[in-house]
Amino acid sequence: MNMKKKMIRTLGILGLIAVLMLVGCGKKEEETAPGPDVNTAKDQLSEPKEENSREEDTETGGNTEDWEQKESASYPRKLQREELQAFTNWIDQEDNRGNYGLLLSEYTDPKDADLNQIFYTGAGMESEPLTDSEKQAYLKLTGLSEIYTDMIRLTTEQINDFLEEKLDCTLDEMTASFDWTYLEETDAWVTQHGDTNYSPFTCVGGQETEKGIYELECVPGGWENGVSICPPSRLTLARHGDGYRVLSNVYDESIQDSKDVWKIDDQSFDADLGGSWGQVTFTSYAPNTSIYSTQDVSFALVKNGETVYEFPNVMEENFRSRETFLNILAVSFQDYNGDGEKDVIVICEYAPTVNTASGGTLKEVRLYRNMGDNFQLDRDKMDWLQVNDYCNTIDQVMEHVREAAANE
């Protein structure tokens, strides 16, 4: 019996030693795993490259390493550009464009949000047509002789489902008046109007104040031109399942609009353009397709954090009619016309909105001629290069641009 006990004790000790050895090996490997060389990556972007291909991140809000960093982050944590883009998309596009109305009134308590603004266009929910009996009931309650415009019909259940998901309350708990007409027989709310209150927003900044709580700086479309229906606001969200709940929305006119959220880092370069320009940052901005799918890429010169020049657009108001922007293939700063001024050459790639005989994508060259105090699109040369398919690489453009000049 004693020998048996000794053998059991010995086997137990050996098993414990084996487990400790395995744990120790795993810990050593984790501690010696190399991290990314941030300085090297930054240096590679400091000089212009003739050919660049953007590596797309298929996960919203960054790669796996980004999310691991967020898990161990200290708070408050400044939101990354990809996160701001994702929040912009949540406001403008997600839930069938049902979230923007949450920003069209000011409140520190979700129960004080303006129901009429939230549900003005139905908050992205399906609206069933009114039955004949509902139409008659509506006309009787409103005193109208007929229905003049489109009708929106939502049941109390639909409204409560939305409010519980987005504001953590029900219709009975809301303090603001709801100006729709209630049809008791079918427990439905109806209204009629022929316009929209849709307003796109851009999240220009923000932070995660504590785990799962986000404070966003949101600017409505048209604010800079004085045509927005509300001022910028600080929107506070709480992570809830796969979405978010709104905790508050407070107006703040000190928030400035910014395109930095759409900056394409690997196609933005420091460059000396000479003359009055000097040392500047040529900055590429991706289109905000969460608002308009046909919006085009744009470019600017930035110095000391301030935009000092915006390059002219190829299309009017910077919208494409027959293609959508994919990416920038190349950027180069060269004197292509021999006048002593450093010009800007850009090659972009587009996807046709309709099928073409050749299929595939479309490459477009832009020649920005340096005029000293502005840049002009050299359209005649651009068109000639385009027609002759000399727009695939910077070297190809430089080889044939003088032929383009001879054929003007």
pLDDT at 10 over 90: no
3-state SS assignment for residue 149: coil
Whether 62 maps to a domain, the answer reads no
Residues 269 and 399 in one domain: yes
User: 197 in helix, strand or coil?
Assistant: coil
- Cα–Cα distance between 236 and 220 in angstroms, integer? 16
Asked if 394 and 300 sit in the same domain, the reply is yes
Residues 281 and 393 in one domain: yes
65 lies in some domain: no
Whether residues 271 and 397 fall in one domain = yes
Sign of CA dihedral 68, 74, 75, 79: negative
Q: Is the pLDDT of residue 28 over 50?
A: no
Q: How far apart are CA 62 and CA 399, in angstroms?
A: 39
Between 408 and 128, the more confident residue is 128
* Number of separate domains in the chain: 2
CATH number for the domain harbouring residue 368 = 2.40.128
Distance set, CA 58 to CA 55, 63, 64, 82 (Å): 9, 8, 11, 11
Q: Which of 150, 176, 192 is the C-terminal boundary of a domain? A: 192
Cα 387 to Cα 253, 286, 406: the distances in Å are 48, 26, 15
Count Cβ atoms below 10 Å from residue 266 Cβ, excluding itself: 17
**Helix and strand tally (H, E) in the chain?**
10, 16
> Mean pLDDT across the stretch 327-339?
97
**pLDDT exceeds cutoff 80 at 194:** yes
Q: How many residues does the chain have?
A: 408
pLDDT score, position 26: 40
8 within domain boundaries? no
Residues 267 and 397 in one domain: yes
Lowest mean pLDDT among 10-14, 75-79, 104-108, 355-359: 10-14
Residue 69, pLDDT score = 56
Res 7: pLDDT: 40
Whether residues 293 and 174 fall in one domain: no
Q: Is the pLDDT of residue 160 over 60?
A: yes
Q: Decide if 312 is inside a domain.
A: yes
In this structure, the answer to whether residues 276 and 385 fall within a common structural domain is: yes
Question: Is 258 contained in some domain?
Answer: no
The verdict on residue 98 lying in a domain is no
- DSSP for 346-375, written as a single string: EEEEEEESS--SS-S-EEEEEEEEE-SSSE
Residue 185 and residue 282 share a domain = no
Residue 309 sits in which domain range?
263-406
Res 109 pLDDT > 90 = yes
pLDDT of residue 68: 53
Task: State the average pLDDT for the chain.
Answer: 85
Which segment, 35-49, 308-322, 355-369, is predicted with the most confidence on average? 308-322
Structural domain ending residue among the three candidates 166, 192, 218: 192
Residues forming a β-bridge with 387: none
Q: Where do we find the tokens 């009629």?
A: 192
Domain presence at residue 85: no
Note whether 180 and 301 are same-domain residues.
no
Residues 272, 184 share a domain: no
CA dist 378 and 338 (Å) reads: 14
Q: State the pLDDT at residue 2.
A: 43
How confident is the model over 316-328, as a mean pLDDT? 92
pLDDT of residue 372: 95
Whether 383 maps to a domain, the answer reads: yes
Of the candidates 75, 326, 48, 307, the one whose C-alpha atom is nearest the C-alpha of residue 213 is 75
Q: Are 185 and 309 in a shared domain?
A: no
pTM, full prediction? 0.76
Residue where a domain terminates, one of 135, 160, 192: 192
Residue type, 247: L
**Sorting pLDDT into bands at 50, 70 and 90, what band is 392?**
very high
How high is the pLDDT of residue 62? 44
